[in-house]
Every structure is written in C-alpha cells, then in structure tokens.
Structure 1
Amino acid sequence: SWSIWEGAGVSMNDAFARVLAPAWTIVIASIVAEVFSELVDTEVYHLWTVKVTRRFQWSRVLASNAVSVPLDSVIFCWLAFGLGFGMPAAEVWQIVWFNVAIKGAVTILSLPAIYLTGKGRESLDV
C-alpha cells in the first residue's frame, strides 16, 4: 500500500524515528538529572537539618533547592540539548538560566504549602 510518506521516499519507520528519536534523548537526560539532583537535594536537606537547625523547615527546603535546582537544570539541559541536539553553548546556558529562574520562583511561591501538611502544622516554626 502506498502512503504519502513512502511516496516521498521516506518509509514509515524512518518518519517515526525522526520524530521520536529526540524524545529518548530528553527522557534519558531527564532521568539522569533527576537521580543526581534528588540525591544531592536529600543530602543537603539532611546536612542542613543535622548541622544547622531542625527548626525552620522552609530554610531546609530553600537550602536544598538552592543546590539541587541549578544542578538538575545544568545536567538536564546539557545532556538533552548540548549533547543530544548539539545546540550552541550560549543557547544551552540561556535555557539553564531560564529553568533555574522558573524553578526558583516556583520554590518561593510554594514554600507556604510546606506547612499545610500534618507534619508541617505540628512544628509550625515560622
């Protein structure tokens, strides 16, 4: 059977590969970035709790996110766009900085939600 793709000299497999291949780069970059940044986030959160203070849960979240958010953005953007798509370094860094800014804003805006959980209300240490 003839299709528009095969009529143009492109098989269905080639067409799907062209569309879906970049998705694997993004998926792998996302998984790698998530694993590393979450491990670092957990470690920083724990160290803040042990070495600085158990009070002020918001400060633990800010401290851990201040390290893990940029790390996540750098790893993901460089793996997905720098290595995966071969984007120029200047463009990759623009994406990194934009990601960090958006994630930082979301962190700040969502801080009060920490205290909406049962555990947060028990130790309201604003």
Structure 2
Amino acid sequence: MRSIRGIPIVLAVLTLALAPAAAALLFTLSQFGQRPPEALPLPVAIFLGLLFATPLAFMLRRLAGAPRVITVLVGAGAAIGVALLLAPFGFDVAIGLLSAAVSTTGAFTLLALRGLRTEMYGAINVFIVCTVLANFTLDSFLPLGGFFLVNVGTLFFGITFTQRDRVHRFGRDVVYRMIAAAAVANVIAALAIGTPLRYVAVSFLAIVVAEAANTEVYHALLHRRWFTRVASSNAVAAPLDTIIFTTLAFAGEAFATTSWMVQVIVTDVIVKYTASLVAAITIMSRPEWLPGVPGAHDGTVEAERTIRPERTG
C-alpha cells in the first residue's frame, strides 16, 4: 500500500521537475521555425506552465496536508535542480522556474474548484494551452524521412483531441465556450509574442471551424459507442483544421510550394488522427483515468449523460 500511495508523490515531483526541461525543449523546437526566437517568450513560458498544472493537480488531489506540501517543496527543489543543470547549455533558468511556479499555482487553483469542476476545467485548461503552444510553433517543421514534414504544433494538437473528447461529456454548450475561449486566448497570445496578424486570423478561423465541426459530428453520433464518436468526429476535424490552416497561412510564402504543402498536410493529418486514436484506445483501456464517469469503460451514452458540472450556491 505504501508503494501505491507513493506513486502520486513521485509523479507530482517529476511533473514539476519536467517544467523547466519542457521549456528548454520547446525553445529548441522553435528554432526549426521560419522566424526562430532568440529566447522563449514570457507568455509562452506561462502557458507552458499551465499545461503542467492539470496533471500536477490530478496527482496532488490524492494527497492531503503535510504530504501535499512536502511533495510540492521537493518538486520545487527538483525543478530548480533541472533548471540549473540546463543553464550551461544556454537555457534561461528564470524562464524554466517561471513555468514550474505557474504549474504549482495553476494546480492549486484547480484543486480549489473540487469534484467535477476540477475534472472539467483541468481538461479545458490543457485544451486551450495546447492550442496556444501549437500556434507558437506553427511554422516549425521537423523533416522525417524523404517525404514527411512534421509541424511541431501538431504534437500539441494531438493532446487537444483527448481533452476535447473529455469535455464533450459535459455538454455541447461547455464545448463551444471552450472553443471560444481557446480562440480568444490564441489571438491574445499571438499578439503578445508578435505573431503575424495573418497567422492570428487563420488560426482563429481554423480552430473555430474545425472544432465546431468536430462537436457537431460527435453529438450527432451520441447514439453510437464512445470510440465511434471520437474516431468519426476527429476524422472530420483533423483534415479540416490542417487544410484550412496550411493553405491559408502559408500560401504565397517563398518556401510554401505546392509539393511542400502536400507534404505538410498529409503528415499533419496522419499524425493528428493517429494521436487521437491512440489516446482514445488508451482511455478505453484504463477507465479509471476518467474519474466520476460511471460506466465509462463501456462507452455508452448513458455514462456521459450522468456527468454534469457541479453547481455553486
């Protein structure tokens, strides 16, 4: 039993320790972009910290009192250690520690919501943050083999599929509010870090259109099993998002030849859809990863209809 109880502690410490490392990795990946930044922008470091807030909250909620406080302190020490280890390689220690601090603050904010609200806002948080980070790396491409070009942002969008499908359980209205919040957050973040207005507008359009299509397809299939809904809705959203963004954002750029755009679109669609299927299969294999969802293991509609956000007052 002690070893089982120790798992959340270890994972929470690792989560905090990974925040500075993730900041360094994100900066490295951004160097593959057409306009590589000289340093990781402050707003990006904050959003990156928020990304770790949700998993940290889910670990810490299994602890209470002194164990929770001690875990956070140990995690903070680990984060400082990782940041200092990365400093000789040119990474900003302050940026890494900022991400860790934001992770901690965000985690305790989610924990204060309690119950299903922690579940719902935790998923919403990851969805919004990942769309912002995806757009930060929207012009960074990693060559893979002789044909494929992987957009770094696609790696973040793979995470959004899982979170969006979790939020579907709370109703269509919640999903649309989340999409609107994500669109606004992306515009604000893009303006804060100097992203060209063309990218801002196209990103806004792609998010709204693709996510709305995903939501409508998903809810039109409520009579089908959960996996069918997820696979079908993502089969529409993944290519729609990729085609809209790639063609409108990069058309006319010197590097964006027709063959280049075909490479990007094909690669992105494959990566996004594969990521969504892997995430869905993983969730179905571990129903306990969806706390508070009675019967989630069998993918029935009834399981989702039992979920409602807690009311205040």
Q: Say yes or no: TM over 0.5.
A: yes
CA distance in structure 2 between the partners assigned to 1:82 and 1:49 by the alignment: 37
Among 54, 68, 80, the alignment partner of 2:237 is: 68
**TM-score, normalised by the number of residues in structure 1:** 0.69
Shift of 1:31: 1.3
Counterpart for residue 170 of structure 2: none
Q: Which residue identity does 1:117 align to in structure 2?
A: L
Q: Is residue 182 of structure 2 the alignment partner of residue 47 of structure 1?
A: no
Counterpart for residue 58 of structure 1: 227
Q: Which is helix-richer, 1 or 2?
A: 1
CA distance in structure 2 between the partners assigned to 1:125 and 1:104 by the alignment: 22
Shift of 1:22: 6.2
Describe the superposition over 1:36-63 as per-residue Cα deviations: whole angstroms up to 9, x where unpaired.
000100010011114xx2xx21111000
Counterpart for residue 97 of structure 1: 266
Shift of 1:92: 1.1
CA distance in structure 2 between the partners assigned to 1:119 and 1:45 by the alignment: 21
Among 103, 108, 114, the alignment partner of 2:277 is: 108
CA distance in structure 2 between the partners assigned to 1:22 and 1:118 by the alignment: 38
CA distance in structure 2 between the partners assigned to 1:23 and 1:40 by the alignment: 26
CA distance in structure 2 between the partners assigned to 1:113 and 1:23 by the alignment: 37
Report the RMSD for the aligned CA atoms in angstroms: 2.3
The 8 Å contact of residues 290 and 296 in structure 2, kept in 1 or not, is answered as no
Which moved further from structure 2: 97-106 or 68-77? Answer: 97-106
Among 29, 32, 35, the alignment partner of 2:208 is: 35
Structure 1 residues 81, 69: CA separation in 2 closer, same or farther (over 3 Å shift)?
same
Shift of 1:120: 4.6
What SS class does the counterpart of residue 298 from structure 2 fall into?
coil
The 8 Å contact of residues 215 and 233 in structure 2, kept in 1 or not, is answered as yes
- Higher relative contact order, chain-length normalized (CA < 8 Å, sep 6+): 1
The 8 Å contact of residues 202 and 249 in structure 2, kept in 1 or not, is answered as yes
Describe the superposition over 1:94-121 as per-residue Cα deviations: whole angstroms up to 9, x where unpaired.
1111110110121122112364213555
What SS class does the counterpart of residue 98 from structure 1 fall into?
helix
The 8 Å contact of residues 238 and 272 in structure 2, kept in 1 or not, is answered as yes
Structure 1 residues 117, 91: CA separation in 2 closer, same or farther (over 3 Å shift)?
same
Say which one has the larger Rg.
Answer: 1
1:15-26 pair list within 5 angstroms: 23-26=196-199
Question: Unmatched 5+ residue regions in structure 2?
Answer: 1-192, 300-313
Shift of 1:73: 0.3
CA distance in structure 1 between the partners assigned to 2:245 and 2:212 by the alignment: 15
Shift of 1:21: 7.2
**TM-score, normalised by the number of residues in structure 2:** 0.30
Shift of 1:71: 0.3
The 8 Å contact of residues 243 and 265 in structure 2, kept in 1 or not, is answered as yes
Shift of 1:28: 2.0
Structure 1 residues 59, 27: CA separation in 2 closer, same or farther (over 3 Å shift)?
same
Counterpart for residue 4 of structure 1: none
Shift of 1:122: 2.6
Structure 1 residues 21, 124: CA separation in 2 closer, same or farther (over 3 Å shift)?
closer
